[in-house]
């Protein structure tokens, strides 16, 4: 029996809060999509989605301190490649929270990044969710989780999920999320991280060019498999309509998927818009063995293990 990683009774957002005087540290997870059905393009240019999000234990950490301007520094994954200016989703999230609450958009922010960028793991969205939660605490604005999720939805399709965490059904363009209760069972994953990222808009555009018809369909079978808590059953139900587009743009990902299956993974699929490939393991021990085997094959930049579901952006 594996230890639950995620409590379904989460009251973090229901307590009144005062402004913090010391630094506020927020940890936020990466996400994978266990099911991603892509529907037609809508008039606003987004695709209608039916997805099952799953937060996994691979984290970024954002620290917020009081300041009299808004500044952002970072270390770790993506340093030098990521803009730290006003176009960064963190800055946009802080400005959106300030506009919504009437608070000055002042904070000194520092990001410690472990989630690879442009990887299909929603790292940028995770950081925006962390910024909303961190500044809400720093400023004592005390918004409810639903209010933070509403601001999050204006910033990006999967940011509301990163505020929520756990496992959740996403609809609309992905921004409408409702928790999926799975009884706290832990699933074990191995991630194969690629050298170079893929652009999410380019992957969606390629999906359209390849016919734009999603085949993943309803997530009901996947949701039933989650309740069954049997990784062998779950393995058959994982689905991602963006996988063909990611493979079209990066054919060598096929070798990564094959390497994972050959090494004994129960299943392998591209994570979100890719290029990270994610493999399902039987348990923590199997995940460690699988990771070692994939590392030995040197088929990708880095290999990580992570279990899920875990909570969304939370103050440490």
Q: Residues interacting with ligand C5P, by CB under 6 A?
A: 46-47, 49, 156-158, 173-174, 200-201, 204
Write down the least CB distance from residue 91 to ligand C5P, Å.
Answer: 15
* Structure-block tokens of residue 265: 């993974």
Strand ranges for the chain from DSSP E: 24-41, 47-65, 70-76, 107-113, 167-171, 176-179, 187-193, 239-240, 267-270, 277-281, 302-308, 314-315
Do 283 and 189 meet the contact criterion of CB atoms below 8 Å apart? no
Query: Residue 142: left if φ>0, alpha if ψ -120 to 50, beta else—which one?
Result: left
Burial of 105 (0-12, 13-18, 19+ CB in 10 A): middle
What angle (nearest 5°) sits at the alpha carbon of residue 291, between those of residues 262 and 273? Answer: 80
The helix/strand/coil state of 258 is helix
Query: Please, which residue, 187 or 204, has the CB nearer to ligand C5P?
Result: 204
Q: Is 159 annotated as a binding residue?
A: no
Judge whether 119 is annotated as a binding position.
yes
Asked, as a colleague might, if the bond just before 254 is cis with ω within 30 of 0, I would say: no
Binding site annotation covers 311? no
Q: Which is nearer to ligand C5P, 176 or 302 (CB)?
A: 176
Q: Collect all residues with Cβ–Cβ distance below 8 Å to 195 and sequence separation of at least 6.
A: 300, 301
Q: Is 118 flagged in the annotation as binding?
A: yes
Whichever of 11 and 44 has its CB closer to ligand C5P, that residue is 44
105 assigned to a ligand binding site: no
Task: Classify strands 302-308 and 24-41 as parallel, antiparallel or unpaired.
Answer: unpaired
The residue written with tokens 């989630």 in the block is 115
Closest Cα to residue 190, out of 239, 252, 246, 263?
263
Shortest gap between Cβ of 216 and ligand C5P (angstroms)? 14
Q: How many angstroms separate the CA atoms of 6 and 92, rounded?
A: 29
- Residue 120 counted as an annotated binding residue: yes
Catalytic residue numbers read 31, 158
Least CB distance to ligand C5P at residue 44 (A):
9
Closest approach, Cβ 246 to ligand C5P, in A, equals 13
* Residue 57 labeled ligand binder: no
Q: Smallest gap, in angstroms, from Cβ of residue 188 to ligand C5P?
A: 27
Query: Considering beta carbons, is residue 48 or 295 the nearer one to ligand C5P?
Result: 48
Quick one: 203 or 253, whose CB is closer to ligand C5P? 203
Residues placed in the known binding site for ATP: 116-126
Residues placed in the known binding site: 116-126
């Amino acid at each position: 029996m594996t230890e639950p990683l995620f409590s379904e009774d989460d009251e973090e957002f229901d307590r009144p809060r005062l402004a913090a005087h010391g630094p506020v540290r927020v940890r936020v997870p990466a996400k994978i999509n266990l099911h991603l059905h892509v529907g037609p393009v809508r008039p606003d240019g987004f695709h209608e989605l039916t997805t099952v999000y799953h937060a996994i234990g691979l984290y970024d950490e954002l620290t917020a301190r009081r300041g009299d301007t808004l500044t952002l520094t970072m270390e770790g994954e993506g340093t030098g490649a990521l803009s730290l200016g006003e176009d960064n989703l963190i800055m946009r999230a802080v400005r959106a929270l300030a506009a919504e609450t009437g608070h000055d958009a002042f904070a000194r922010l520092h990001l410690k990044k472990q989630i690879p960028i442009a990887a299909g793991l929603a790292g940028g969205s995770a950081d925006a969710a962390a910024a909303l939660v961190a500044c809400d605490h720093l400023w004592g604005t005390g918004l409810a989780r639903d209010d933070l999720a509403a601001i999050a939805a204006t910033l990006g399709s999967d940011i509301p999920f990163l505020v929520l965490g756990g496992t959740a059904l996403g609809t609309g363009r992905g921004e409408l999320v409702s928790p999926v209760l799975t009884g706290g069972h832990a699933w074990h994953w191995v991630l194969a991280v690629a050298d170079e990222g893929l652009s999410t808009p380019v992957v969606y555009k390629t999906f359209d060019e390849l016919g734009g018809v999603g085949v993943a369909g309803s997530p009901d079978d996947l949701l039933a498999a989650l309740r069954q808590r049997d990784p062998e059953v779950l393995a058959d139900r994982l689905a991602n309509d963006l996988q063909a587009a990611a493979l079209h743009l990066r054919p060598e990902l096929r070798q990564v998927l094959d390497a994972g299956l050959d090494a004994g993974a129960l299943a392998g699929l591209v994570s979100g818009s890719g290029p990270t490939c994610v493999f399902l393991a039987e348990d923590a021990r199997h995940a460690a063995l699988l990771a070692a085997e994939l590392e030995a094959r040197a088929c990708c930049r880095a290999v990580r293990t992570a279990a899920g579901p875990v909570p969304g952006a939370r103050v440490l």
